[in-house]
Amino acid sequence: MTVLMVSMPEGTVTRPDLAEARERLAVSDFLLVDVQTSGEQPSITERLGLEAECPRWFGGLDAQARADFLGDRAAFAVPAFEDDRITHIHALATERHLVTLHRGAAAPLDNLVARLGAEAPPDIVAVLFLLFHEALDTFRRAAVAGLLTAEDLEDEMFERRRPEQVYRLAQLRRRAALLHHTLLPYLQVTDEVFTRRMLNRDFPEERQRMAREFQHAGRLVLADVEAFQDATRRAFASYSSLASGEQNGVINRLAIVSTIFLPLTFFTGYFGMNFSYLTDEMESRAVFWLLAVGLQVGVLVMALYVLHRTRIWRRLHGDEDLEDR
């Protein structure tokens, strides 16, 4: 377990234990306390003296979107996307301090701590919205990177289609689904809470502005995630079209070969029958070459001439669409 504490507005960073953090929470204002654990430890809120202020789910680090206003404080489960996995950061904000809990490392909090000195937020609520935006940025970066990867992969498919591209597309599609299934419920619960709070006349104008900015940023990020999903679907459709085109080409070539050998197949079957006329009258070598080879060549030349003079030849080669253009 790792505890990090930031005293504002000076931005002093210390790493106390839970007992010292509890003492500072009781006497200090404008304080950020971050607790990183390796597993689910609900007792942390009791050890910090916050069990009366936190909702029941806080500290359990479950994987659900949460947003609760509890009078003079608010609790959120803020998702962040890191290394192809979702990390939920539980955040409790009061007028005096912000306490965050998460399992494993959380890049949004590291970035937040690095920004506090330059941003100089005026209060805890401003720090909380900075955390919201840092978490949204993880989804935006993942969506944009995935979108570019899917487009590059689609370009590669048109140059040369390979089976491993399907596996890469499947990975991208799962990532896009994970981003969307995590971000959408989170934005829905936060929008519901913020909208309800903004209807309250006591909600300060500055906080309403920060809430609207977050809602707008959330919709933009959701649009990026949906564009990522559309890119993966389009890439899958392109791969299927390319595969179908190659199969059609194979079928066309087989049709040409079948057309060439169809007369030979007919003559083989016909002269293979044991009619007395065939066995008695067509025994000479000249008759064999005339009928077996001559007729084959004649029928083949006639078939190729007919095919070449009609649209069937172009259909077999797949050139009809190009000629129509």
| Sign of torsion over alpha carbons 88, 89, 90, 95 | negative
Q: Which helix (H) or strand (E) holds 85?
A: strand 85-93
Which residue, 98, 74, 64, 99, is CA-closest to 200? 74
Task: Return phi, psi of residue 101, to 5°.
Answer: -130, 140
Buried b (16+ CB within 10 A) or exposed e, 6-44: bebeebeeeeeebeebbeebeeeebbbbbbbbeeebeeb
The CA distance from 325 to 320, in Å, is 9
Which residue, 100, 96, 92, is CA-closest to 5? 100
> Do 156 and 165 touch, CB atoms closer than 8 A?
yes
The CA distance from 119 to 277, in Å, is 104
pLDDT value of residue 63: 65
pLDDT value of residue 324: 46
pLDDT value of residue 281: 62
Q: Which residues contact 50 (CB under 8 A, 6 or more apart)?
A: 25, 92, 99
> Do 25 and 50 touch, CB atoms closer than 8 A?
yes
User: Would you state the structure tokens that stand for residue 318, as one six-digit string?
Assistant: 């797949």
User: Would you state the structure tokens that stand for residue 37, as one six-digit string?
Assistant: 């654990």
Q: Which residues contact 163 (CB under 8 A, 6 or more apart)?
A: none
pLDDT value of residue 39: 66
Q: Which residues contact 71 (CB under 8 A, 6 or more apart)?
A: none
The CA distance from 166 to 171, in Å, is 9
Number of Cβ atoms within 10 Å of the Cβ of 249:
12
pLDDT value of residue 62: 64
Each residue's pLDDT tens digit in the chain (325 positions)? 788 888 887 778 888 888 888 888 888 888 888 888 876 665 788 888 888 788 888 877 666 888 888 878 889 999 999 888 888 999 999 888 999 988 888 888 888 888 887 778 888 999 999 999 999 999 999 999 999 999 999 888 888 888 888 889 989 999 999 999 999 999 999 998 888 887 677 778 888 899 999 999 999 999 999 999 999 999 888 888 877 877 777 787 777 777 777 777 777 776 676 666 666 666 666 776 776 677 777 777 877 777 667 665 555 555 544 444 4
> Do 243 and 251 touch, CB atoms closer than 8 A?
no
| Sign of torsion over alpha carbons 187, 189, 192, 197 | negative
User: Would you state the structure tokens that stand for residue 117, as one six-digit string?
Assistant: 């000195």
